[in-house]
Amino acid sequence: MRNKEVSEKLYELASYLEILGEMKFKINAYIEAARRIENLTIPIEELAREGKLTEIKGIGEGIAKKIVQYLETGKIDKLEEVKKQIPETLIELLNVPGVGPKGAYTLYNKLGIKNIEDLKKAAIEGKIRQLDGFGQKKEENILKALQHPKKKEVRRINLGIALPIAEFVKESLVKGAPIDKIEICGSIRRMKETIGDIDILVTSNNSNQVMDFFTNMGIVKEVVNKGDTKSTIITPEGIQIDVRVVEPISFGAAVQYFTGSKEHNVKIRELAIKKGLKVNEYGVFKIDKDERICGEKEEEVYNILDLPLIPPEMREDRGEIELALENKLPKIIDIRDIKGDTHVHTKYSDGENTIYEMVKKSIELGYEYLVIADHAKALGVASGLSIEKYKEQKKEIDKINEEFGDKFRIFLGCELNILSDGSVDFEEKELSIFDICLAGIHTGFNQDKKKITERIKKAMNIEKIKIITHPTGRLLGTRDEYEVDLDEIFKEAKNNGIILEINANPERLDLNDLNAMHGKELYNLKFSIGTDAHSVNGLSDMRYGIGVARRGWLNKKDVINTLSLKEFERFIKS
């Protein structure tokens, strides 16, 4: 897969153009394209071969041509041309805070500075302060940045750990402090799979009391900072939580600002400027008179820019603002659309609860059906079932189904193991007792890409298998995905009418948001969102799967377990 290579070339081109003072929108187009390719799960060379490059959002004819040229010749004419105009090392300077593209060009032109070393030397010698657009303060900052490079990569925390903690803090604040409005913002609100820190905004008529309460909560291991309107604490798990008190008239604007993403907000502000408006965390203002227009409610910030409120999960600058401007924002799936869970385990294999308990909880969640998919026999560690055991399970299921009548239906499923040769636990004819078969890889993660891909494809050709569970096998933060050619899997799924799972377990979230987006965009695939619950509590993980689906812009129609019981039954039989 040459995606990374191609995206780096485009970033490089953008950087050169930036230094040379090219028009902003042109540079942004390259950056946008680079970002999309970087996030693409499908090999770019394949899309190029099929002439499908322009189907990727953000890639127009011009950029597509350059990509093809690069893939074929290893060079891009345009890049070669700009490279002749400035030294390559100048790009290093763009990463120095306070320099920027214009600055880099000035430094090169006026002082002959070509790289970081030259820059440091010039700063120490006090030459930079004399340049137009620099000055003493800037020179000091540059030197400081060069002497104390920022630490890279902080540890990120799984959403599944951070969200419950954020909700606990929210509930505690509401109960224990004089809170009026409160919202969890940042990457948690966008349901990003991992988060850096927790951002909570509140309004209150007694800010000091809120700060006192927050910094004295039981979960506080360390108070990093306590102020009048903002405090930061660290929990025993090492998670940082910021609570900010803002003015009620600014609450909506602050929520918009602190929800992010940063990239989304940058675009929003650019759009505002075009309309003569300034958007910041305090509100929306007229640029010329500094007159406040709105900001109390979040949706006002969008509406004033002629946009509908964009769901937080979409705010990643993946084209959502452009679509919203055309009033073409998709109506993304909602957790209330879910009519049943497609993947749960019970005591029969390695689950903690009985079928009956899982059903009771499902009904509480408002579901109409449930697919019980206990592990099959090859998975010894999870007490996988023999066909005889499944037959026993079927008897119990039939009995419970009778009890509930039309109100609720349990389907007898199973989670088969895709073995190292692509076969599964049972012979094809033995699978006839099941209403639906799921299959996934649970062993042999280390095979090469071709083998694993072929293995899954083979399983997809077994008549009764309808769903491939956790298709990439990753465990967030602990195990990388196995090597698999997802594009091949997508194609095979398309050809065989196979459903790919979005595993909602927050340690998996597999497929992820971008996988889902591409599967839909390029192959119009359908997905199931299954919790893989091993207990009644696990059933509540559905919201994480919904988060992935919403971040992948899926509609209700793209997800099979939004079907009503009747429709789902028809689908299973098809």
**Contact footprint for Ca ion (CB under 5 A):** 186-187, 197, 199
Select 230 or 360, whichever has its Cβ closest to ligand DGT. Answer: 230
Residue showing tokens 């599944």: 160
Sole window of 259-267, 407-415, 523-531, 551-559 interacting with ligand DGT (rule: CB under 6 A): 259-267
Phi, psi values for residue 474, rounded to 5°:
-75, 155
Q: Three-state SS for 151?
A: coil
d(CA 345, CA 342): 10
User: Which residues, including other chains, have CB under 8 Å from residue 112's CB and lie 6 or more apart?
Assistant: 118
Q: In terms of CB distance, is 235 or 503 closer to Ca ion?
A: 235
Question: CA-CA distance, 564 to 567, in Å (whole number)?
Answer: 5
Q: Specify the stretch interacting with ligand DGT by CB under 6 A; choose among 89-97, 194-202, 364-372, 383-391.
A: 194-202
Q: How far is the CB of 158 from ligand DGT (least distance, A)?
A: 11
Q: Are strands 292-294 and 283-286 parallel, antiparallel or unpaired?
A: antiparallel
Q: Which is nearer to Ca ion, 106 or 187 (CB)?
A: 187
Nearer to Ca ion, 232 or 515 (CB): 232
237 in contact with ligand DGT (CB under 6 A): no
Neighbours of 491 (CB within 10 A): 17
Task: State in angstroms the smallest separation of the CB of 193 from ligand DGT.
Answer: 10
- d(CA 193, CA 475) in angstroms, rounded, equals 11
Minimal distance in Å, beta carbon 161 to Ca ion? Answer: 14
**Residue 570 beta carbon to ligand DGT: minimum distance, rounded to whole angstroms:** 42
In the complex, the smallest distance separating the C-beta of residue 201 from ligand DGT, rounded to whole angstroms, is: 10
Phi/psi of residue 429, each to 5°?
Answer: -70, -25
- Judged by CB under 6 A, does residue 258 bind ligand DGT? yes
| SS3 label, residue 492 | helix
Contact 464, 428 (CB under 8 A): yes
Is residue 156 classed as helix, strand or coil in its secondary structure? coil
- Nearest residue to 468 via CA among 443, 497, 438, 488: 438
To ligand DGT, the closest distance from the beta carbon of 311 in angstroms equals 15
Q: Rounded to the nearest whole angstrom, what is the least distance from the CB of residue 393 to ligand DGT in the complex?
A: 42
Min. distance of Cβ 187 from Ca ion in angstroms? 5
Buried b (16+ CB within 10 A) or exposed e, 432-451: eebbbbbbbbbeeeebeeeb
Q: Does 342 bind ligand DGT (CB under 6 A)?
A: no
Ranked by CB distance to ligand DGT, the top (closest) residue is 260
Q: Which residues contact 511 (CB under 8 A, 6 or more apart)?
A: 471, 472, 500, 501, 502, 503, 519, 527, 548
The reply on whether position 252 binds ligand DGT by CB under 6 A is no
229 binds, among Ca ion, ligand DGT, none (CB under 5 to 8 A by kind): none
Number of residues binding to ligand DGT, judged by CB under 6 A: 14
Structure tokens at 221: 């291991």
Instruction: Work out what residue 450 binds among ligand DGT, Ca ion, none; the CB cut-off runs from 5 to 8 Å by kind.
Output: none
CA 275/CA 424 separation, integer angstroms: 60
Residue 197 or 357 having the CB closest to Ca ion:
197
Among the listed ranges 78-86, 126-134, 189-197, 509-517, the one in contact with ligand DGT (CB under 6 A) is 189-197
Q: In what order do the strands lie in the sheet with 230-234?
A: 182-184, 198-202, 240-245, 230-234, 222-226
d(CA 357, CA 305): 49
| DSSP notation for 349-403 | TT-SS-HHHHHHHHHHTT-SEEEE-PBBTT-GGGTPBPHHHHHHHHHHHHHHHHH
CB of 414 to ligand DGT, least distance (A): 37
Rounded least distance, CB 380 to ligand DGT, Å: 39
**The one among 38, 92, 197, 357 contacting ligand DGT by CB under 6 A:** 197
User: Three-state SS for 95?
Assistant: helix
Q: Find which of ligand DGT, Ca ion, none residue 265 binds, CB within 5 to 8 Å per kind.
A: ligand DGT
For position 538 contacting ligand DGT by CB under 6 A, the verdict is no
Judged by CB under 6 A, the residue of 89, 115, 229, 261 near ligand DGT is 261
Residue closer to ligand DGT, measured from CB, 94 or 116:
94
258 binding partner (options Ca ion, ligand DGT, none; Cβ < 5 to 8 Å by kind): ligand DGT
With vertex at residue 530, the alpha carbon angle to CA 526 and CA 531, rounded to the nearest 5 degrees, is 155
Of the candidate residues 186, 283, 440, 471, the single one contacting ligand DGT (CB under 6 A): 186
Interface region with ligand DGT, contact rule CB under 6 A, candidates 99-107, 254-262, 366-374, 460-468: 254-262
- Two structure tokens written together for 275: 């309309």
Interacting residues of 401 by C-beta distance below 8 A, sequence separation 6+: 408, 409, 410
- Residue 257 binds which one of ligand DGT, Ca ion, none, with CB within 5 to 8 A depending on kind? ligand DGT
Q: Does 187 bind ligand DGT (CB under 6 A)?
A: yes
Which does residue 260 touch among ligand DGT, Ca ion, none (CB within 5 to 8 A, set by kind)? ligand DGT
CA distance 541 to 514: 19
Residues near ligand DGT (CB under 6 A) are 186-187, 192, 195-197, 199, 257-258, 260-262, 265-266
